[in-house]
A = this chain, B = another copy of it.
Amino acid sequence: MSTRLGELVERLGGHLVGNADIEIFGIASLDDATASHITFLSNPKLRAQAAQTQAAALILSADDDAVVSTGYNGARVVTSNPYAYFARTAQFFAAQQALPAPVGIHPSAVVATGAEIAPSASVGPHVVIEAGAIVAEHVVIDAGSYVGRNAQIGAWTHLFAHVTLHAHCRIGQRGVVHSGAVIGADGFGFANDGGVWVKIPQTGGVTIGDDVEIGANTTIDRGALADTLIEDGVKLDNQIQIGHNCHIGAHTAMAGCVGVAGSATIGKYCTFGGAAMVLGHLTIADHVHVSSGSLVSRSIREAGQYTGFYPLAKNADWEKSAAIVRNLTTMREKIRELEKTIKSLTEK
């Protein structure tokens, strides 16, 4: 399958310089692209490479175009954000090649009376949908997924195989939930009574906005009373844990293995590196970026990059530095004594 370059640019925007009638068959990297591909330049350091690409068309910024256009003879698509343009172009070709999910309910699925499944939705083999659930138009639910009582799934959202969406949990439109994700398990709430834990029922739900992606084996707990909230455009990688009553602001992204303890409120446009952890009941401002492996143990009121992990070293070197870290108070004491001694020496 192929697409006229002109049609692609009409759809995705940008300024086309060159032949609109070229047929494009796909997208490839600067090096791998051939005369049937479109490619992109998002890193100015690769300008020389871009000028040499064999691609039929090149997506690039105006600044890069001023330099690259002198050496490159193909068509150019000039845009303010070539990397995002690449992503949308790749989406376009991926959608062309994707097999459409079969519309309707697979005969092996178990759909309770009283669940509403839109006619254009696709419900795969061995899926279970409980009573009161609402599945909107063009939703795709792959094999073996579970949709609890009164759960809601917005239009065009895709649940991959083996997703669990528990009772009274809602996800908006155009969402993607990967395999093994569990949305709406009980939050971890117990009262201690003489050493024994007494369970606090978790009667809230999970409310997830539009355009949210949730990674494989990620878990988002239901709230204790109110709902756990995930705003529009949030992207969660795999193996993430979101505790009960967390509130994650719009367009925040978290890499794999991140953990957020209960009742944390995280701003919009934040990013969290892999395995970063956030303690419970904290507040994190918008535009905060937490480095991988860092533990957030206090609220962060100011935007910026925050880090806290022990630097890696050869094991023998680490053993020495760790031994000193254990005794830093001793080192500080020695410095104080030195200061005192010197003061008395200089005062003489």
Shortest CB distance A261–B (Å): 5
Q: State the A residues within 8 Å of B (CB).
A: 28-29, 81, 83-84, 86-88, 90-91, 93-94, 99, 106, 108, 110, 124-126, 128, 142-144, 146, 148-149, 160-162, 164, 166, 176, 178-180, 182, 185-186, 188, 190-201, 203, 213, 215-217, 219, 221, 225, 233, 235, 237-239, 241, 243, 251, 253, 255-257, 259, 261, 268-269, 273-275, 277, 279, 290-298, 304-315, 317-329, 331-332, 334-335, 338-339, 341-342, 345-346
Contact of A297 among B186, B239, B277, B309 (CB under 8 A): B309
What residue in chain B is nearest A236 (Cβ atoms)? B188
The answer to whether B328 and A191 touch across the interface, beta carbons within 8 angstroms, is no
Q: Are A339 and B334 in contact (CB under 8 A)?
A: yes
Q: Please, which residues of chain B bring their CB within 8 A of the CB of A273? A: 279
Nearest CB in chain B to that of A269: its residue: B195
Q: Which B residues lie within 8 Å of A310 (CB)? A: 294-295, 308-310, 322, 325
Q: How far is the CB of A36 from chain B (nearest CB, A)?
A: 16
Q: Is the CB of B326 within 8 A of A161?
A: no
Q: Which chain B residues lie closer than 8 Å to A86 at the CB level?
A: 191, 200
Can you list 17 pairs linking A and B with CB atoms under 8 Å apart?
A87-B199, A144-B162, A160-B164, A164-B179, A166-B179, A180-B217, A188-B238, A190-B235, A217-B219, A256-B259, A257-B277, A259-B275, A275-B275, A295-B309, A297-B312, A317-B326, A321-B328
List the 4 shortest-distance A-B pairs measured between CB atoms, nearest first: A308-B312, A84-B193, A94-B201, A185-B216
- Report B-chain residues with C-beta under 8 Å of the C-beta of A308: 309-313, 318
Contacts of A196 in B (CB 8 A): 233, 251
Q: How far is the CB of A116 from chain B (nearest CB, A)?
A: 18
A164 to chain B, nearest CB (A): 4
CA distance A175 to B282 in the complex (A): 31
Q: Which residue of B lies closest to A185 (CB)?
A: B216
From B99, B253, B295, B312, give the contact of A306 (CB < 8 A).
B312
